[in-house]
Structure 1
């Protein structure tokens, strides 16, 4: 292992912090450091060409919606949404960690020799539900600041799901 660690030669960190460009490089991948050594930098040179709608693809009579025209989310709705997200993410996550700790205690005290697939499946289900909790927490929030949420937010989730996929006419 020591041979593997020593075989790789890298410059000291002080060298990297003192690297200064003397001139603008001709090649976009080449950089010249202060001691005239050539250093290469790999940068992505991509443009957002494919992500912007072309003028030909716009439908006649329909203007592009400006994201700045969307009304801001009221503070009460935002706080309710954050509360729902914390609960819908934290509950399965905490349950998953607690069950894994319980399996560890049971195995240490020789009560039950837990097969490996049980903690794997438990982790998959609880942590997966935790990841889905972000979407559910935001969809199950009532977007009207004057109305209150129901306990689990199933009705709000149904309404917001339909509203989210409805096409603007």
Structure 2
């Protein structure tokens, strides 16, 4: 403490920063851009691209293809909304089919890490990679399987695994695609 008090050196002073040079005002460039705005870009989709046409052109194309066949729908009527019972059934199946592989994958990674930390087995590096790839990949596929394995009929509950419903819904989904 005495050395700090008795020190004869004065503290070093930092020089003040130099002010930045001011650039001349850009009023000329700003006024030009206000007078002549830049052109705007617009995206143009093909008229036959699926999902990029307006609803009026869809109904016009449907009328020109086959005016007598409207599949029980009026020309301006949209698809029916999904019933709440079916929606809840799908959400539960999606959560289970995504959550189960995800939890198994995280559990296996923790287990392999614990085995390696305790020096019980020298876990090869490819094993956690393979575990992650399989379980997280199955979790990603669980979104599609959860929605397909649910029964789309509000009165029918369906089976536990939903294999029959998945086969039926898969065929129904692609048949609607081919019909439109």
Partner of 2:128: 119
Following TM superposition, by how much is the alpha carbon of 1:48 offset from its aligned partner in structure 2, in angstroms? 2.7
In structure 2, runs of 5+ residues without a counterpart are 1-32
Following TM superposition, by how much is the alpha carbon of 1:70 offset from its aligned partner in structure 2, in angstroms? 0.7
1:61 paired residue among 52, 66, 69: 66
- Are 2:32 and 1:27 equivalent residues in the alignment? no
Query: In 1, distance between residues paired with 2:95 and 2:156?
Result: 20
Query: In 2, distance between residues paired with 1:84 and 1:67?
Result: 33
Following TM superposition, by how much is the alpha carbon of 1:98 offset from its aligned partner in structure 2, in angstroms? 0.6
1:108 paired residue among 104, 111, 117: 117
CA-based RMSD of the aligned residues comes to 3.0
Following TM superposition, by how much is the alpha carbon of 1:67 offset from its aligned partner in structure 2, in angstroms? 9.0
2:162 paired residue among 134, 153, 167: 153
Following TM superposition, by how much is the alpha carbon of 1:69 offset from its aligned partner in structure 2, in angstroms? 1.7
TM-score normalised to structure 1 length? 0.68
Partner of 1:46: 43
Query: In 1, distance between residues paired with 2:87 and 2:145?
Result: 14
Give a deviation string over 1:112-138, Cα, whole Å, max 9, x none. Answer: 111110000110000000000000000
Change (3 A) 1:24 1:160: farther
Give a deviation string over 1:20-55, Cα, whole Å, max 9, x none. Answer: xx94762248xxxxxxxxxxxxxx742234534689
In structure 1, runs of 5+ residues without a counterpart are 1-21, 30-43
Change (3 A) 1:101 1:126: same
Query: In 1, distance between residues paired with 2:111 and 2:76?
Result: 48
- Are 2:86 and 1:77 equivalent residues in the alignment? yes
Following TM superposition, by how much is the alpha carbon of 1:147 offset from its aligned partner in structure 2, in angstroms? 1.0
Tell me the matched-pair count. Answer: 134
SS of 1:48's equivalent in the other structure is coil
